[in-house]
Chains A and B, each alone.
Chain A
């Protein structure tokens, strides 16, 4: 759901650019507080993987495709702040090198996917995993949070379209949420699969592991 230039009005993208810059600075400060050595190569791999996975559009209903967002995936391994920075960096490279997502609306894309998708997605994950116990509960939390991360990101995108006067907000919201409810299922399947595969090999890698007591 990378927004191209032209779809958002100047006030909307300008506010989003400022908000995104503020959020990136806040994330950097938060990451500097507690940074683990092992996280350095893992961050590189996560950036590389999210970029690669975002190239793989999978078909969903009605001649539409979707691809991984990766916000919950990266924040489960790296925590929400570094996870958001990973998504932001991917968006920046996609914007300037690949013309995927507009330049003026880069902030809006960061707000949608790194702030709403990743940040709120991670909050849903924390909320769910505090309620559900055991390994099943952990992976169910990842699946639910992944679905919601896509819903949040697409909802934010729809509201920006609405505020810009591009399309009536409620209609945009309805259309965006409907199609992304399907894409979110793909997000949930892919994220849950990757997290379970990595944790099977290296259970210590996740920043938020299944509760030791519940294993």
Chain B
């Protein structure tokens, strides 16, 4: 992939996370709806087992709800870009290490 294509791809993901996320529906999702309608949503644990860094997709310290969501989307998207890139890089380098002695190495 060319650098420009990578930037376009990442830019589109950031656009979705920053510009569209504040306008997402806040209705309960499929599972929440079913759990609510059938009376077992209350069984869900309110207190998380590990302290969340950015609870409920709202960046702490930003009072505007929409901006807090955008900021959370921005941070999360970047983390996943680098996380995914890093994961793939590790998969690739370990594969190359295994095939170093291969005469077909191009």
List residues of A whose CB falls within 8 A of some B CB: 1-7, 28, 31-35, 37-53, 55-60, 62-67, 82, 85-86, 89-90, 93-94, 96-100, 102-104, 154, 157, 161, 166-167, 171-172, 175-176, 179-180, 183, 202, 205
Most chain B beta carbons < 10 A, residue from A31, A49, A50, A67: A49
B73 contacts across to A, CB distance below 8 A? 52, 55
Contacts A40-B85, A49-B16, A176-B34 given; indicate if A99 touches B25 (C-beta within 8 A): no
Q: List residues of chain B with CB within 8 A of the CB of A34.
A: 95
Using CB atoms, name the residue of chain B closest to A67. Answer: B29
Beta-carbon contacts of B36-64 to A below 8 Å, as 1s and 0s? 01101001110011101111110000000
Contact call B1/A41, Cβ cutoff below 8 A: yes
B48 lies within 8 A of A5 (CB):
yes
Known: A5-B48, A6-B44, A167-B38. A47 touches B30 (CB 8 A): no
In the complex, the answer to whether A51 meets B17 with C-beta atoms within 8 Å is yes
A102 to B43, alpha carbons, bound, how many Å?
13
Checking A32, A60, A205 against B98 with a beta-carbon cut-off of 8 angstroms, the contacting residue is: A32
Chain B nearest Cβ from A111, distance in angstroms: 14
CA A94 to CA B77, docked complex, whole Å: 11
Complex alpha-carbon distance, A150 and B23, angstroms = 23
A82 B83 Cβ-Cβ under 8 A: no
> A202, B87: Cβ atoms under 8 Å?
no
Bound complex: CA of A6 vs CA of B31, how far in Å?
Answer: 14
Contact check: which of A82, A102, A176 meets B88 at CB < 8 Å? A82
- The closest CB in chain A to the CB of B84 belongs to A47
Q: Chain B contact residues (Cβ within 8 angstroms of A): what range?
A: 35 or more
Contacts of B20 in A (CB 8 A): 55-56
Q: Give the nearest-CB partner of B6 in chain A.
A: A41
Q: How far is the CB of A185 from chain B (nearest CB, A)?
A: 12
Determine the chain B residues whose CB is within 8 A of the CB of A46 once the complex forms.
84
A58 to B37, CA, bound (A): 19
* Given known A-B contacts A85-B87, A154-B30, A172-B34, A53 and B16 have beta carbons under 8 A apart: yes
- List 8 other contacts, CB 8 Å, given A35-B88, A44-B88: A2-B31, A44-B83, A45-B84, A89-B84, A96-B50, A99-B56, A103-B49, A171-B38
**How long is the Cα–Cα vector from A169 to B71 in the complex, in angstroms?**
39
B92 A52 Cβ-Cβ under 8 A: no
Q: Please determine whether A93 and B79 come into contact, CB atoms closer than 8 angstroms.
A: yes
Q: Known contacts A56-B16, A57-B24, A64-B27: does B44 contact A7 (CB below 8 Å)?
A: yes
B90 CB to closest chain A CB (Å) equals 9
- Interface contact B52-A98, CB-CB below 8 Å: yes
Q: Are A37 and B92 in contact (CB under 8 A)?
A: yes
In the complex the two chains form, what is the Cα distance from A89 to B72 in whole Å? 17
Question: Contact between B83 and A49 (Cβ–Cβ < 8 Å)?
Answer: no
Do B82 and A44 touch across chains, with their CB atoms under 8 A apart? yes
Return B61 CB to nearest CB of chain A, in Å.
Answer: 15
Report whether A55 and B55 are in contact in the complex, using a CB–CB cutoff of 8 Å: no
Does B14 sit within 8 A of A, measured CB to CB?
A: yes
When chains A and B are docked, how far (Å) is the Cα of A210 from the Cα of B40? 44
